[in-house]
Structures are given as C-alpha cells and as structure tokens.
Structure 1
Amino acid sequence: MDRSKEIREFLSTRRARITPEQAGLTPHAGARRVPGLRREEVAQLAGVSVDYYIRLERGRTQGVSTTVLEAIARALHLDDTERAHLFDLAQPTAGRSRRKPPPRPQRVHPTLYRALDALSVPALIQGRRMDVLAANRLFSALYTDFQARPHRERNFARYIFLDEAARILYHDWDKAAGDCVATLHLYAGRHPDDPQLTELIGELSLHSDTFRRLWADHDVLLHTTGTKRLHHPLVGDLTLDYVGLAVEGDPDQALIILTPEPASPSAEAIGLLASWTATSTTRPPAPEKTQNPTD
C-alpha cells in the first residue's frame, strides 16, 4: 500500500464531500471548477498555509503535528473513524523503507471455540482482512460453511464480492458491499504492509467493477454494531442485529454475534434453522441461482 497515494486520495475525497456553505465559508461568485472545498479553503479553515496543506495532501507527512491533523479533521468534518484513519495514514515515514516480516497466522483461543458452540445464535470470529477464523454451526447454516472452503477463501470480502449466493442472501447487497470495502480500507490504514491484504485487494479489483468503484471512494467504517436483513432459502426473511466484541490479546480479532428480536418472526426462523442444524449432517440447500448483472 502506498501511503502517499492513500492520504492524497482520502483527503481529496473528503474535500469533495463538503460545500463552502457546509464549512461556514462564503462561496466565491461564479462557477466552481471542483466539487466541494478547494485546497486553499481547507488550509484557511485549518489555520495552515496553502503550501503546507498541499504538501500534506501529497503525502509528505514527516513532522506533521497532532494539532495540525486535528485542525484538518475539524475542517473536513471527519467523524471519529475517519479521524483515526487520517492519523493512521499520517504516521511518520521513518523506518518504512525496512520491510516488515509478514504477520504471524492468527489463532483462535480454545475458550472462544467453546463460546461459539455454546451460543444459540449465529456467531463467528473475524480476523485480519475480514478473514473468517471460526464460526458456529448456526452461522455456517445461515451464510456458508467457510471451514469447508480452501484456507485462502475463508474471507468475508471474497464471499461478498465473488460468491453469487451473497447477492441472494442480502436484501441490500449494495450496502453490504460498501460496508465491507469501508472496513477493509480502515484495516489498510493500520496495516499497509500486509502482503495478504495487497493480494486480496488486487484479486477483488480484478474480478469486481463494484469493488474497484467503492475502493476509490476511500470511505472507512468501524463495523461494531448494526442490523442485517437477509433472505435464507430454508427459513425465509430475517432481520438480525449484530455486535462486534474485541478479543483481548489480539486487536485484529473480533467475536461477532447476530441476534434476532425476541419473540419475532426472525427469532422463530433462527429457531427453525437451529433445529435443522441439530439434526442434519449436511449443509443447508444453496440458494437457487438467478441471473445477476455482470459486476
């Protein structure tokens, strides 16, 4: 990952979202040649010189202070996740020329395996790059059996963009795809030297026009809570809330639990799916294939 390119494109896409009126500036008369704020307007709002801001947007972040980054974050109306991403991208460049060793494979603690098995709702352990490290039977029945896939394909981003079944499962696949890319972008800011991340982004960019378009938006998302609306071929429509809980000892692991509202049709559907998984030794039927537009 090229940090200079990443910070340039992140800041330029954030500038493009904000009008002078939203930033509290009086717009100049006449047509504007660029959407959103100009560089000089961001510099004005942040209280730095235009030359300094231009150097920063070009990725020359050596020596940039926390105060300046905070001022730019305020000028661009960054939320907490975007602000953290900006700080990740602007880390000092000293020492980056030395290639870091590949990260060690992640391991799931035996206690977490027991916790997954004990849960009566779908749950998984998600690791770096949205890798699926472990999942209980109910999650496998709801989504897909990741453990039956080749090791490199046990990845949620690959599932979303490269598996036709994901388009059928999600009521709003476009939102799921956008959230997925924004989550990967946040990880990329923290771990730009991860070779498996580079491989994953290259593969998804090669095979998915949608991924390439969303990646160019440079949105970031901390995926901790939310709601998923799904359609399962066996039990029908479900609305499930999810929460991601950090795993102590490994900040790149999270226990993700999906729960229905009590006494709801979704809770009944989960109960039916649990009954099916308790008695079946095979995977649930795959969704029927439909004609989808070329991605």
Structure 2
Amino acid sequence: MDDLGDLGAFLQSRRAQVTPASVGVPVGARRRVSGLRREELAQLAGVSVDYYTRLEQGRATQPSEQVLDALARALRLDEPARDHLHRLARLGNRRPPLSHYPNEVRPQLRQILDAMPDFPALILNHRMDMLAYNKPAGLLYCDLDSMPPAERNLARMVFLDAERCQTYFDGESCRADTVAHLRHAAGEFPDDAELAALVGELSIRNRRFSELWGAAHVRVRSHGPKRFRNPLIGVLTLHQERFVLPDGSGQELITLTPEPDSADADSLRLLTNLAATTGRSDA
C-alpha cells in the first residue's frame, strides 16, 4: 500500500480515471491506457511533462497553488478532492505527531450527548472510532454496548462485520462514503500510524475496500439523508449533521434526526423509548 499522504499516488490514480474523450483529447487506435497519459495531463494543466513526471514520482516538492489548481481543473476534481490535493502538497506544514490528538472525549461533550435523548448522537474521531454515544445511538448501531470498545469502529463494521451488523441499508453507497472519508482523513493526518494500520488491514481483508481505496475518491459528507436497517425498528431514514470540533482533535459530533411527523419519527420514538429502559450507553 502506498503512503497515505502520497501526492504522486493520488495524482496517478485520478489521472487513470479521466477518459481522454471527456477532456477533448483525441483517442488513437493504438492507445493502451483508458485514462490520460502524463504528457496529456501536463498539456491540459499547462506545465511541462518533465515537471509533472517529477511531481508524480515524488521528485518535485511544494508545487505552487496555481499549478495545483491547474492540475485539479485538468483532472476534473470536485472541491473536496481539490482541497485534498492541496493538503497532500503542503509537505512542509504537516500536522504534529498523533499524540497531540487524544481519543479521550471531554466531559462537557458527554453531557451534550446525554442531553439529546430523543435522537441518536455520537462522537467519532478521524479514524471513525466511536468514542462516545448516547442511548439511541447505542441501539441504532448494532447494540454497541455488547461490543468491545476496540471493535466500535464504523469502517470495520461496514467492511468486516457485515454478517453481524446489518445496520446500513444502502450498503454500496455507505462503503464508498466510508472509504472517501478515510482518504480525506489520510490527507489531514498523514503521520497517523493507527490510521495507516487500519487502511492496511481493511485493504488486506476486504477486496472491495482495496478497490475503492485505489480509486482515490475524497469526500466529506457533512449533512444529508442516511438510511438504516435496525433489527428492533426496521428500515428508516435519518438526516445526518456533522459538526467538526474546533479544538483540532480530529473529533466530530454526529447527530441523526428524522423528518418531523413522519413514519421514521415514529420508528425512532420507539427506539428512544427502548433506550430509556436500558442502562447507560457510552463508549
């Protein structure tokens, strides 16, 4: 597996996904690759072939913002992928060691979770570890209280525990979102050995993860609908909101709420009533 923060690997992967026809490059009969050649991308971005080759091979450092923007336009990158490209190129501004990003959840944040008894809410870190959650979230996500803390990781649940944890209804969309989120985290936390180990484990143990990781898509889904299948209440759709904590810890607060006066609201109300009769849910 390539280094998580490898600019060259990211460029190479995205270059392979751009078809010549989509950017107006003539396709000859003897063409052997489906994506763009290095010289074609360099021409589209307005840089020399030699310079682009050195970028992809890791022999050129700290490209200018203008060059990065030109490459992003040529590769048809959306905003999250463009930002990821810029992060990978900022080699001189890497984050501090991982010890600066603790997994402990501040007591005040746990109080916020407990103050939300009517809908699921949880705290995730950038590796998608569930660090803390309220009672409804504990029941929504496969009875989290029955799982050892080390196994409460959304990425592992999605790719390695599908038989036991049939929570996500839209499986392929969820898998793609999960990998795109981890790819984004890799650019934010390039020195995180635990994140690298997680990606390596998932790549080895799940072929679909390896395929999606190789596609190098980057996405941060801050809000939107999410469908669940829960053995207690069936299928329901909840609206997800994601709030990144401003302390630089890599932690984020996730809330999941239903459409008011809907069947999903009735189903969630049943879940919260069940949660109220159980013990405390917490990571």
Calculate the TM-score normalised by the size of structure 2.
0.89
Tell me the SS of whatever aligns to 2:108: helix
1:32-47, aligned counterparts within 5 Å?
32-47=31-46
Moved more, 47-56 or 33-42: 33-42
Tell me the SS of whatever aligns to 1:168: coil
User: Are 1:129 and 2:127 counterparts?
Assistant: yes
Query: Is the 1:226–1:242 contact (alpha carbons within 8 Å) kept by the matching residues of 2?
Result: yes
Q: Distance in 2 between matches of 1:12 and 1:171?
A: 33
Tell me the SS of whatever aligns to 2:61: coil
Among all aligned residue pairs of Structure 1 and Structure 2, give the percentage whose two residues are the same amino acid.
44
Tell me the SS of whatever aligns to 2:6: helix
Where structure 2 has 5 or more consecutive residues not aligned to the other structure, the ranges are none
Match for residue 291 of structure 1?
A: none
Q: Distance in 1 between matches of 2:273 and 2:100?
A: 39
1:59-74, aligned counterparts within 5 Å?
59-74=58-73
Tell me the SS of whatever aligns to 2:269: helix
Match for residue 202 of structure 1?
A: 200
User: Are 1:10 and 2:10 counterparts?
Assistant: yes
What is the identity, as a one-letter code, of the residue corresponding to 1:21? Answer: A
Q: 1:6 to 1:76 in 2, by over 3 A?
A: same
Query: Is the 1:2–1:192 contact (alpha carbons within 8 Å) kept by the matching residues of 2?
Result: no
1:179-194, aligned counterparts within 5 Å?
179-194=177-192
What is the identity, as a one-letter code, of the residue corresponding to 2:115? Answer: A
Q: Distance in 2 between matches of 1:277 and 1:181?
A: 30
Q: Distance in 2 between matches of 1:146 and 1:189?
A: 29
1:1-295, aligned counterparts within 5 Å?
2-3=2-3, 6-23=6-23, 25-92=24-91, 100=97, 102-119=99-116, 120-146=118-144, 148-165=146-163, 168-250=166-248, 252-281=250-279
Q: Distance in 1 between matches of 2:199 and 2:17?
A: 25
Calculate the TM-score normalised by the size of structure 1.
0.86
Query: Is the 2:124–2:131 contact (alpha carbons within 8 Å) kept by the matching residues of 1?
Result: yes
Moved more, 229-238 or 13-22: 13-22
Query: Is the 1:244–1:256 contact (alpha carbons within 8 Å) kept by the matching residues of 2?
Result: yes
What is the identity, as a one-letter code, of the residue corresponding to 2:108? Answer: T
Q: CA deviation at 1:74?
A: 1.0
Q: Distance in 2 between matches of 1:171 and 1:155?
A: 18
Q: CA deviation at 1:140?
A: 0.6
Query: Is the 2:103–2:125 contact (alpha carbons within 8 Å) kept by the matching residues of 1?
Result: yes
Tell me the SS of whatever aligns to 2:240: strand
Q: Distance in 1 between matches of 2:249 and 2:5?
A: 26
Query: Is the 1:183–1:220 contact (alpha carbons within 8 Å) kept by the matching residues of 2?
Result: yes
CA RMSD of aligned residues (A): 2.5
What is the identity, as a one-letter code, of the residue corresponding to 2:111? Answer: R
Q: Distance in 2 between matches of 1:146 and 1:160?
A: 14
Q: CA deviation at 1:2?
A: 4.9
What is the identity, as a one-letter code, of the residue corresponding to 1:224? Answer: S
